[in-house]
């Protein structure tokens, strides 16, 4: 079941990074690292130096999400810092998508694509076959704690259909408001990986061991009777 979860490290307690990562290493399948430049979205979060620090403790892959206006300026830097997957926004790579994905592959890393809520899958139709991880934003970029955008359930279902019809291999990951009240709808729509932040994990309990237990239990309950296997 841990492979169904990624954790947004921008939501963790930065006074206890090592302790929290050591707990999470046993609970989740991936870490999600948001790098924002303050321009593409009006916030600044993590950095390549933080990626380097996380890498020293992490036992799971690091998915680095570049919320940057010029992602081409960041790829080599985050690769050297320890990224395992580099996820680029469709809205920032028009005119250079194939070149950038070739660059990521040449660095020996996996490729990711991120779509904002208002960006249709058709925007990336020609390179969906080149990606390993498709992240669908279910909130607008930049800030944690936003309400879930219901219309994205149809986009998730469309992404799953396109994968099946074309033989694509990407996993479908959801970024935004992944929590007990949305778990079942997201997985039933076709999600493979849920990114957990404040509402889905850290806000469930001050004790991270207990927060993980509550998250896992709520996930099991949400998927009882669902057509989606929870990996048990």
Ranges of beta strands (E only) in 38-162 are 62-67, 85-89, 110-115, 133-137
Tell which wins on pLDDT, 224 or 216: 216
Residue found under tokens 């904002």: 116
The answer to whether 202 and 5 are in contact (CB under 8 A) is: no
As a dihedral over the C-alpha atoms of residue 144, residue 146, residue 149, residue 152, rounded to 10 degrees, the angle is 0
Note the pLDDT of residue 223: 84
Q: Residue 162 pLDDT > 90, yes or no?
A: yes
Catalytic residue among 13, 34, 132, 140: 34
The answer to whether 100 and 109 are in contact (CB under 8 A) is: no
Note the pLDDT of residue 147: 84
Average pLDDT over residues 165-178: 96
What's the CA gap between 195 and 173, in Å, rounded?
A: 7
Where do the domains of the chain lie?
Answer: 2-222
Under 8 Å CB-to-CB from 57, ≥6 apart: which residues? 17, 18, 21, 22, 25
Note the pLDDT of residue 144: 63
Question: Long-range contacts of range 26-30, CB-CB < 8 Å, 24 or more positions apart?
Answer: 26/2, 27/2, 27/212, 27/216, 28/2, 28/60, 28/196, 29/2, 29/3, 29/4, 29/5, 29/60, 29/61, 29/193, 30/3, 30/5, 30/6, 30/60, 30/61, 30/62, 30/63, 30/85, 30/193
Average pLDDT over residues 152-163: 98
Q: pLDDT-derived band of residue 232, with 50, 70 and 90 as boundaries?
A: very low
Note the pLDDT of residue 152: 97
* Number of Cβ within a 10 Å radius of residue 149: 17
Respond yes or no: is residue 154 known to be catalytic: no
Average pLDDT over residues 157-177: 97
Return the minimum-mean-pLDDT range out of 18-22, 178-182, 192-196: 178-182
Average pLDDT of the chain, as a whole number: 93
Note the pLDDT of residue 140: 87
Tokens of 21: 């990562």
Q: Residue 137 pLDDT > 70, yes or no?
A: yes
Q: Residue 231 pLDDT > 50, yes or no?
A: no
Tell which wins on pLDDT, 154 or 225: 154
Note the pLDDT of residue 41: 80
CA separation, residue 176 to residues 16, 88, 143 (Å): 23, 16, 9
The answer to whether 185 and 165 are in contact (CB under 8 A) is: no
Average pLDDT over residues 104-116: 98
CATH number at 2-222: 3.20.20.70
What's the CA gap between 33 and 23, in Å, rounded?
A: 17
Note the pLDDT of residue 141: 80
Catalytic residue among 63, 132, 175, 192: 175
What's the CA gap between 227 and 151, in Å, rounded?
A: 21
Q: Annotated binding residues for substrate, as ranges?
A: 65, 142-145, 175-177, 197-199
Average pLDDT over residues 212-229: 82
What's the CA gap between 49 and 47, in Å, rounded?
A: 5
Q: pLDDT (tens digit, 9 = 90+) per residue, 46-101?
A: 999 999 999 999 999 999 999 999 999 999 999 999 999 999 999 999 999 999 99
Respond yes or no: is residue 34 known to be catalytic: yes
Q: Annotated binding residues, as ranges?
A: 32, 34, 65, 142-145, 175-177, 197-199
Q: pLDDT (tens digit, 9 = 90+) per residue, 4-44?
A: 999 999 999 999 999 999 999 999 999 999 999 888 888 88
């Amino acid at each position: 079941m841990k492979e169904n979860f990624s954790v947004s490290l921008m939501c963790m307690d930065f006074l206890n990074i090592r302790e929290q990562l050591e707990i999470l290493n046993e609970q989740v399948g991936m870490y999600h690292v948001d790098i924002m430049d303050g321009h593409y979205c009006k916030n600044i979060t993590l950095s390549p130096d933080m990626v380097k620090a996380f890498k020293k403790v992490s036992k799971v892959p690091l998915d680095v999400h570049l919320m940057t206006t010029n992602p081409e300026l960041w790829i080599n830097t985050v690769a050297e810092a320890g990224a395992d997957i580099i996820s680029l926004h469709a809205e920032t790579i028009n005119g250079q998508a194939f070149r950038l994905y070739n660059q990521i592959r040449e660095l020996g890393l996996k490729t990711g694509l991120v779509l904002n809520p208002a960006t249709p899958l058709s925007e990336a139709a020609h390179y969906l076959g080149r990606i390993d991880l498709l992240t669908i934003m279910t909130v607008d970029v930049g800030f944690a704690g936003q309400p879930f955008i219901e219309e994205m359930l149809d986009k998730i279902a469309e992404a799953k259909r396109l994968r099946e019809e074309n033989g694509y291999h990407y996993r479908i990951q959801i970024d935004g408001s992944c929590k007990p009240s949305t778990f079942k709808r997201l997985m039933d729509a076709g999600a493979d990986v849920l990114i957990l932040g404040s509402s889905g994990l850290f806000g469930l309990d001050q004790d991270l061991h207990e927060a993980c237990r509550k998250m896992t239990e709520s996930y099991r309950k949400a998927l009882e009777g669902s057509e989606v296997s929870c990996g048990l």
